[in-house]
Structure 1
Amino acid sequence: METPWGPWEAAPLDEVIALMRGLAAPWWVAGGYAIELAVGHPYREQEDVDIARLRRDQLAVRRLLDGWDVHAAVVPRTLRPWAVDEVLPEPAHDIWVREHPDGPWRFQLMLDEADGKEWPYRRDPRIRRPLTELTVENDGFHRLAPEVQLLYKSKSRRPKDETDFEVVLPLLSDGQRRWLDEALATEHATHPWRERLRHDP
């Protein structure tokens, strides 16, 4: 996949997970893989690997990646190097990682917010969730809960986001459907997923 900042060649998910196991602070698989892991089998090609952790733990993960080429989107659609021991400003939440400057980007890091013991949704902090309910344990690591990942995906509604919604919808519990419906009601009152969350089997 080509980008204005160079090509992507996503690392295998298991390799990124093995790397992140060296991080003592909480982290979790996000993005399309979070949905695929919830479903339990591959159903579409995954173009990238997204790993998330809390903003307050950013220095721990940056030190883990000492020796990698790490860039942060401090200004939207602009990447710049992220130095070891630099605390990123609050707007920055998207980080790209590769082995060296001439190589392809290998995976993406996302900074999530925390307010005490709660996770506030960065696009609309009225939407909140206990940190203990943000992720699901999956074979020794954590993944973002599917209803939370769908909330992130609800804004763009790209074809792959629609596919992810279609595939995981039958697997959502009543409580997961209700949480996502209420979150969408707060941010996107007329979102078409709401009707399906309430009525599709």
Structure 2
Amino acid sequence: MDIDNWQPLTVEEVSLLLQDIPIMWGIAGGWALDLHIGRQTREHKDIDIIVFCKDQYKVYQYLSKDWRLYKAYKGTLELWQGEQLEQLNDIWVKKDEHSAWAFQLMLVDQVDEDWVYRRHPAIRRKANDIFLTTTDHIRYLRPEIQLLYKGGSSVIREKDDLDWQMMLPHLTIAEKEWVISGLKGQFPEGQRWLKI
């Protein structure tokens, strides 16, 4: 299975595809940052969508009629049959077994009314407060949360560094303080983005 064969849906196509799904979802990744500032800043190889773990069965039921969903784990991809996913949080989606990858689903945790950052569970926000909406009514992950995911990864890629530098002038003081506090909580020994 060719993991590099991507022909991602556009933001508008994703929005149209998921407009009737009865759950909360939002665009994530680099596209979320671009939606926040209102323009595309770089090429995007894929498109990520955040959904809550508790809604995974609804997502499966909604998409599996027309799409093939694969569980991604440590470099392997296996067809998802709709079983409850506990540790896995990454689903790749394509139209059929021969087509290119179209989008990626990222499952995030929720405890009671709170979104919980899996890498450092002390970091939380109200679940209904993790998304913002564009003037076109497209929901996307807040920039400070997206940057926490990027900066909190075990591998920070060049595009993550570029996204951090690009977004800094667009963050409010509160957003900047929140992501810095989150990175300090996850990395008390230090993290390279904290040297600003």
Fold match (TM-score > 0.5): yes
Once the two structures are superposed, what CA deviation does each residue of 1:59-103 show, in whole Å capped at 9, x if it has no partner?
A: 111111122111112x422211112xx233211110010111111
Pairing 1:28-177 to 2, within 5 Å after superposition:
28-65=26-63, 66-73=65-72, 75-83=73-81, 86-138=82-134, 139-154=136-151, 155=153, 156-177=155-176
Q: CA deviation at 1:6?
A: 5.7
SS in 1 for 2:101: coil
Instruction: Check conservation: 1:22, 1:64, Cα contact below 8 A.
Output: no
Give the structure 1 partner of residue 23 of structure 2. Answer: 25
Q: CA deviation at 1:133?
A: 2.1
Detail structure 1 runs of 4+ shifted over 6 Å in the superposition.
Answer: none
Once the two structures are superposed, what CA deviation does each residue of 1:92-146 show, in whole Å capped at 9, x if it has no partner?
A: 1100101111111111011111001111101111211111221112221310000
Instruction: Check conservation: 2:69, 2:80, Cα contact below 8 A.
Output: yes
Once the two structures are superposed, what CA deviation does each residue of 1:155-197 show, in whole Å capped at 9, x if it has no partner?
A: 232111111111111111111111111101111231122232x
Aligned counterparts of 2:58 and 2:38: Cα–Cα separation in 1? 30
Give the structure 1 partner of residue 12 of structure 2. Answer: 14
What letter corresponds to residue 194 of structure 2 in structure 1? R
Alignment gaps of 5+ in structure 2:
none
What letter corresponds to residue 181 of structure 1 in structure 2? I
SS in 1 for 2:27: strand
Instruction: Check conservation: 2:67, 2:96, Cα contact below 8 A.
Output: yes
Structure 1 stretch 163-172 or stretch 3-12: which is displaced more?
Answer: 3-12
Aligned counterparts of 1:180 and 1:135: Cα–Cα separation in 2? 15
Aligned counterparts of 2:180 and 2:5: Cα–Cα separation in 1? 36
Alignment gaps of 5+ in structure 1:
197-201
Aligned counterparts of 2:150 and 2:94: Cα–Cα separation in 1? 25
Structure 1 length-normalised TM:
0.90
1:101 to 1:4, Cα distance in 2 relative to 1, 3 A: closer
Aligned counterparts of 1:11 and 1:143: Cα–Cα separation in 2? 15
Aligned counterparts of 1:5 and 1:142: Cα–Cα separation in 2? 27
Q: Among all aligned residue pairs of Structure 1 and Structure 2, give the percentage whose two residues are the same amino acid.
A: 33
Give the structure 2 partner of residue 192 of structure 1. Answer: 192
Aligned counterparts of 1:89 and 1:124: Cα–Cα separation in 2? 20
Between Structure 1 and Structure 2, how many residues are aligned?
191
Structure 2 length-normalised TM:
0.92
SS in 2 for 1:113: strand
What letter corresponds to residue 107 of structure 2 in structure 1? L
Q: CA deviation at 1:4?
A: 4.7
